[in-house]
Amino acid sequence: MENIIQFVYIASASLFILSLKWMSEIKTSRWGNWAGTAGMALAILATLLKPEIHGYLWIAIGIVIGASIGTPMAMLMPMTAVPQRTALSHAFGALAAGIVGSAEYFLHGSNLSMPQLIVLCIEVLLGFLTFTGSLLAFGKLQEIIPTRPILYPGRNLVSLSVFAFSLFLIAYLVIKGGSHPFLFSSIVCLSLLFGILLVLPIGGADMPTVISILNAYAGLSSSFMGFLLNNKLLIIAGALDGSSGLILSIQMCKAMNRSFTNVLFGGVGQVLEVADPSRDGKIVKSLSPKEASILFEAAKKVVVVPGYGMAAAQAQHVVKELTDVLENRNIEVKFAIHPVAGRMPGHMNVLLAEADVPYDKLVEMEEINPLFPETDIVLVVGANDITNPAARKNPGSPLYGMPILDVDKAKQILFIKRSMSTGFAGIDNDLFYSPKTIMLFGDAKKVLNELLISINSN
């Protein structure tokens, strides 16, 4: 039986690797999703066949509780809440790793060797800090707590002191050996506290990267748990999760031209102000959707820039309808995808795929930027920070140096937005005041519907 279980584990690990491979490309991403699901199902089945499992009652209870939570999350949460759902998934997975590590310590702590104690403590530290950090990320994304960085004097010193003290307690526990419940519980509490202190000062503009980093932490915690339980599949799966999350975090930081330390300690978005054009004599041009529809009569090339405004309004299906109408008029339509658009990696890709927008119409930032000067109309649907020219022109802006979509180089810009309020980074967008920009104020779905009706009637 053990040989069969190990064979199934190898098959599961192979499916996990294929899942990551296939999900690296849009065309094969569905296969990647199915491969990952099948791999996890096989892993669970093989684990349940282990001879050391003598009863299934509590396992069945756990499955029922987990399914009763997970099923509504998958079925009832809208696509716009995918970032929040991802943060919760990280929290639950990290909590599971932390609880398993804690159970191992309280059951076998006095018999663990020094290397086992080191692995266990690292697993618990990563698991519990990821748990509270992910819950806080969920709260910011859901706007239960303020999305802006919550700052206080000496915040970095406080958080790093908590982290250093937890490492000191881990070293002391490992050297002392044996069973010390109070000491171990202190490490758990400090880990939970550090997760809160880590995410609290980070603003909403950095949430996509934070989610990716927390994903890496959760994966590493699972991998260490695999070493502790001598489970090779957990080691492989956790390492895949951790390394992919780390690589994605690096790519996201590169996309924002920021470092890890800048993301974790920078506090971007600490000043949230509503733009007041009259204060500086700035001029904002706005039209109704019906008036703006006339501009499409002479257009040959249109680029749509989706952002969180599209997600919040659930306007992806109307965007697809508008695309079909424009293409029927022999207008070329492409979608400009920024790596950190929305509130999680790939957020826009997921929403547009749900609306059946063809994959070949989604163009990455590096490929689409050279095309903007020859674009007749750029339709920006609530994408604020990733289109802000201040990232190129204003050295004093917190966004300065961040690669953006060069929307301002197009011939005409239509910007759909509810109001003149700032984006997630809390910074006014210079694009609003460009002579080439026309603002279409209102809910993105409603504005797009009116625009669609007007274009059809022209």
Active site members:
385
CA quadruple 24, 30, 34, 40: dihedral, nearest 10: 40
User: How far is Cα 318 from Cα 185, in angstroms, rounded to an integer?
Assistant: 52
User: Angle between the 207-229 and 82-108 helix axes, to the nearest 10 degrees?
Assistant: 30
* Residue type present at position 63: I
Length of the chain, in residues: 458
Please state the three-class secondary structure of the chain as a single string. CHHHHHHHHHHHHHHHHHHHHHHCCHHHHHHHHHHHHHHHHHHHHHHHCCCCCCCCHHHHHHHHHHHHHHHHHHHHCCHHHHHHHHHHHHHHHHHHHHHHHHHHHHHHHHHCCHHHHHHHHHHHHHHHHHHHHHHHHHHHHCCCCCCCCCCCCCHHHHHHHHHHHHHHHHHHHHHHCCCCHHHHHHHHHHHHHHHHHHHCCCCHHHHHHHHHHHHHHHHHHHHHHHHHHCCHHHHHHHHHHHHHHHHHHHHHHHHCCCCHHHHHHCCCCCCCCECCHHHHCCCCCECCHHHHHHHHHHCCEEEEEECHHHHHHCCHHHHHHHHHHHHHCCCEEEEEECCCCCCCCCHHHHHHHHCCCCHHHEEEHHHHHHHHHHCCEEEEECCCHHHCCHHHHCCCCCCCCCCCCCHHHCCCEEEEECCCECCCCCCCCHHHHCCCEEEEECCHHHHHHHHHHHHHHC
Amino acid occupying residue 397: S
